[in-house]
Structure 1
């Protein structure tokens, strides 16, 4: 299942996106190992509530282009987001971000504050929180030898990681959807070159001393059972960002929108309404 049905050329690369509605704009920015599929339970309700909603796949992810000669770090993805907004004629949207999308959101709020109205951080990477211990082990043992991995070994590795993202159980259908972009040789190469190779906390650590400059409404929503981004990082963000609200959702993991889609939808709609 894909939400996306349009493409836009941004700085010479193709980004897949969805654009619905005519109200106040809001952009959803997904994380890793993921794509826009993660927003499928949330986006339709936000569209129905009267917002202009833009959902897209990061460069190298999902249905967007996978050029192996392009930088896909969160710094480069931030620049591409600015280019996407320019291409769509959007000046100051609200941003709803997850995981590394949260790093992009933080960079927007600090480096391009005139281009964002509000920021929601859902189980976001921050400070030195990433990559997690399990991903560090994969980087150490697999990053330089992934070409020799069989498709079965790759799928077993990624399945094991995806099952860690929820506090409950990920259904076979949803697991298959998250695996789908990587079930080709190009998909497996892209996974390591566009995603794993760019798991680098310097892009958030360099913002640490500037989080206090963020001057827009911020809501931090976190799964209490997140095994990749412990809730202590959420508390630290809430302390460092002036006026930030913190909502901790019990019995939920890193993919909060999988464990508690209705709660995430309520939080997004309340935040966008100024609640």
Structure 2
């Protein structure tokens, strides 16, 4: 299923996006190694519940532009989110963010609290939680030598990683697995993956704002797969303790890609949260 249907020039770069529905705007920010495909079983249901849903591929990811000389770090993606909201005429939005998107959501909420009505973070990176041990090993062993990597070797590497994201590995096979691999099935795709994603796996982007999370005043819900192999549950508990009034929802039998293991539960949590009155 292709979720994104349009493109928009934002701050001089092209972002693939989808803007549908009416009502309060909800911005969905995906994680890594991923793109907006991860929201395919979620966004249409939130839209049907009466919300305006905006979904986009981060710069350098999925169907968005893969610039040669543009910063695609978490910090830069946070700045770009502000430009995207301006371009769409959105003054204030609810944000639903996963994984590295959660870092963008946290940074944006800290920097622009007046523009975030509610914040939901799903199996997010935080504090010093990332990169995970397997990604750290890949960074140490593969980052400098990736230009010589064959497509088969790359596919095998990424497949091993993707299968760690779900509690039920049978969910990360067939067409679903191919959809996650698809943006990288070329030399450009492989280069883009390492340069725009892996090279920016750096916890400094969350550590440098950690002392400001306690100032957040909007409703925050933290939703986590109990069996997340990349972002252990104790980080969710730490976030919950640190952010005033934050709710923590733990989903049993689910891993890091909660939208694959338990899409119906994610939809329920989002729709319930979006009806929570802002403070």
TM-score range, shorter chain: over 0.9
Once the 2 structures are TM-superposed, how far is the Cα of residue 160 of structure 1 from its aligned partner?
A: 0.3
Once the 2 structures are TM-superposed, how far is the Cα of residue 171 of structure 1 from its aligned partner?
A: 2.8
1:192 — aligned with what?
Answer: 194
Q: Distance in 2 between matches of 1:258 and 1:154?
A: 22
- Write out aligned runs for 1:82-231 (5 A): 82-169=82-169, 170-231=172-233
Cα distance per residue 1:41-86 (max 9 Å; x no partner)? 0000001011000000000000100002110011000011100000
Is 1:24 aligned with 2:24? yes
Once the 2 structures are TM-superposed, how far is the Cα of residue 123 of structure 1 from its aligned partner?
A: 0.1
Once the 2 structures are TM-superposed, how far is the Cα of residue 208 of structure 1 from its aligned partner?
A: 1.1
Q: Distance in 2 between matches of 1:68 and 1:213?
A: 37
Give unmatched runs, 5+ long, in structure 1.
none
Q: Distance in 1 between matches of 2:81 and 2:2?
A: 20
| SS of structure 2 residue aligned to 1:159 | helix
Q: 1:273 aligns with which of 262, 272, 275?
A: 275
1:54 — aligned with what?
Answer: 54
Q: Distance in 2 between matches of 1:140 and 1:171?
A: 27
Q: Distance in 1 between matches of 2:112 and 2:174?
A: 40
| 8 Å CA contact 1:68, 1:194 repeated in 2 | no
The alignment yields a C-alpha RMSD, in angstroms, of 0.7
Q: Distance in 2 between matches of 1:261 and 1:179?
A: 20
| SS of structure 2 residue aligned to 1:22 | coil
| 8 Å CA contact 1:8, 1:17 repeated in 2 | yes
| 8 Å CA contact 1:25, 1:52 repeated in 2 | yes
Q: Distance in 2 between matches of 1:32 and 1:53?
A: 20
| SS of structure 2 residue aligned to 1:117 | strand
Q: Distance in 1 between matches of 2:109 and 2:18?
A: 23
Cα distance per residue 1:106-158 (max 9 Å; x no partner)? 00111111121100000000000000000000000000110011110000000
Q: Distance in 2 between matches of 1:267 and 1:16?
A: 26
Q: Distance in 2 between matches of 1:109 and 1:258?
A: 26
| SS of structure 1 residue aligned to 2:136 | helix
